[in-house]
Amino acid sequence: MEKLILIKYGELTTKKGNRNLFIKTLTKNIEEMLQNYDVNIIKNRVRMFIEVKDQKFDEVVKQLQKVFGLHSIVICEKVNTKDIEELKKIAFKMLKQETFDTFKVVTDRADKTYPIKSMEVSRQIGGYLLKYLDHKKVDIHHPQLTLHIEIRTDGTYFYTKEVEGIGGYPVGIQGKGMLMLSGGIDSPVAGYLALKRGVQIECIYFDSPPHTSMEAKNKVLTLASLLNQYSGHMKVHVIPFTKLQEAIFKNCDPTYMITIMRRMMYRITERLAKKRNCKIIINGESIGQVASQTLTSMSVINEVTNMPVIRPVACMDKLEIIRMSEKIGTYETSILPFEDCCTIFVPKHPVIYPDLKKAKEMETTFDYESLIQECIQNVETISNFEEETSDLL
Ligand code: ATP
Ligand code: MG
């Protein structure tokens, strides 16, 4: 018997045309995720098997649970025989070690040349187990234990436990997007959801020292490193935003400050996104959450770009977003109390229904274009998270 990991692919069935790209990208991502383990990946069109030579099965499964595109992860036992009498004995040996009262056997006959039909295999092996295991019952609908048997061309696979994968598409299959990452709760969740749809992300953060602290920046880097666990290759582009923000503060009506600041953020994000080959902008805006996220505000802000802006949490309740951030492990960091640049300059009464014409007029009062260029020229790009944030994690 050989112990190995079997992987069932995620949403592959709905994407027949992309099968090869899906498997290729997924394999690459798994290889990267498991680079510190001694493993061998064997793949075919419907399944992937991973031999774990160093026997660190639990750790490897944990790592695999962070790879998008996996439907489930199974630790299975492979035998080379398909002889039904042998299979009965192996099934008996496996189940003897388990604690349960009720069970069922499910067989998948992938090898169509195998002479016994799946149902019949299940019936025969189930009957044998019933006879030789003490006090066990078959329960078809709610068994405490399910023994899966897959009869494949190269042998027979047995397993009883299936660990859920995180689903989605392999990261990178959809190209790249630029995530506007702040230190809050929403944008890391937005980033996670974009990664889940296969979008590789780079992050942009608007930093306004000394109005915002080093801690606020480090918090964003920590969040990026947490997202990096799901994707690898993460980059954070830190934009020195102070001068532009002060110019807005000096020249614009306080009630429009946030509107104009966010228009500038979008402009800068779009330019950097194009430069970095990103096809979309992603952010953590959620309808109605704050003044800048009313539909009117969003449309006035969005007016500066033609690039698609994806807002994965737009229609989620704050509580749903919080729950998700807890699940993905970003919540604890997000709630650390460091000011971000939006809260420092927040006016008492930001406009809730801004007028596009007014916003445009205010923007004519100062030379924002050269300030935007300066922001982009002086961007600081950080890509090595283990080093940058190891003391914070
Ligand atoms: P979050 O919880 O993600 O901070 P929020 O509820 O605080 O969001 P806003 O501050 O209005 O909402 O920001 C909306 C979105 O704009 C954020 O989710 C993020 O995508 C982006 N954003 C805001 N501030 C910054 C910043 N300093 N750098 C980069 N992106 C930002
Ligand atoms: Mg915020």
Residue-wise pLDDT tens digits, 159-187: 999 999 999 999 999 999 999 999 999 99
Distances (CA, A) of 14 to 10, 19, 27, 99: 9, 9, 19, 37
- Give the number of whichever ligand sits closest to the CA of residue 310: 1
Residue located nearest, by CA, to atom 31 of ligand 1: 182
**Residues within 5 A (CB) of ion ligand 2:** 182, 184
Q: Please state, in angstroms and rounded to a whole number, the distance separating the CA atoms of residues 276 and 5.
A: 37
Cα-to-centroid distance, 341 and ligand 2 (Å): 8
Cα-to-centroid distance, 186 and ligand 1 (Å): 7
* Pocket probe mutation, ligand 1, options 178, 182, 248, max atoms within 8 Å of Cβ: 182
Give yes or no for residue 333 CB within 6 A of ligand 1. Answer: no
What is the reported pLDDT for 354? 94
In which residue are the tokens 């030379």 written?
367
- Give the number of whichever ligand sits closest to the CA of residue 184: 1
Give yes or no for residue 212 CB within 6 A of ligand 1. Answer: no
Residue located nearest, by CA, to atom 20 of ligand 1: 283
- Given a cut of 60, is residue 347 above it in pLDDT? yes
Q: 157 forms bridges with which residues in the sheet?
A: 78, 150
Identify whether the C-beta of residue 354 lies closer than 8 Å to the C-beta of residue 256: yes
- Give the number of whichever ligand sits closest to the CA of residue 242: 1
pTM comes to 0.90
Q: Please state, in angstroms and rounded to a whole number, the distance separating the CA atoms of residues 262 and 256.
A: 10
What is the reported pLDDT for 13? 57
Position 346 confidence tier, pLDDT thresholds 50, 70, 90 = confident
Two tokens, residue 364: 């004519």
Give yes or no for residue 30 CB within 6 A of ligand 1. Answer: no
- Given a cut of 80, is residue 343 above it in pLDDT? no
* Pocket probe mutation, ligand 1, options 178, 179, 180, 336, max atoms within 8 Å of Cβ: 180
